[in-house]
Structure 1
């Protein structure tokens, strides 16, 4: 479902949901029933975080130019030992 903007003479702009591509040029106002004309506006775009945009771009780039790994990555160090005695008795992975 997509949200389309319509203009009512009495109530101003009203958002109405229709399946994508099926919005008519006119619709009736949900409050007063008067005919409303459809407003054309740019799509609602949200800005994403830089980390998300970088991940999406890296994913798209890997389709045609994948990164080749020549060696196994170094193993991460063990986490620091727990200092509380109760935590030291917990099983370790």
Structure 2
């Protein structure tokens, strides 16, 4: 089964699950019954986990109008050196 998206002029988008390749150019709007035209969208190959879906949604929202920040975020705190083997002190530090 594939999910097809249709747009009604009065009620917006609606989704229908149909076998692959059986979607028509129009379908009846479930709310008013008027013809709703098919909208071609990217295939949903995988839904992924919640983190990936959130990243994809955030990227889609900022595609046309990127989020602008006034300054860079805070710098990460430096790690304190670990007291241990004295030979490790001679190693180069990043």
- Structure of larger gyration radius: 1
User: TM-score, structure 2 length as denominator?
Assistant: 0.47
User: TM-score, structure 1 length as denominator?
Assistant: 0.48
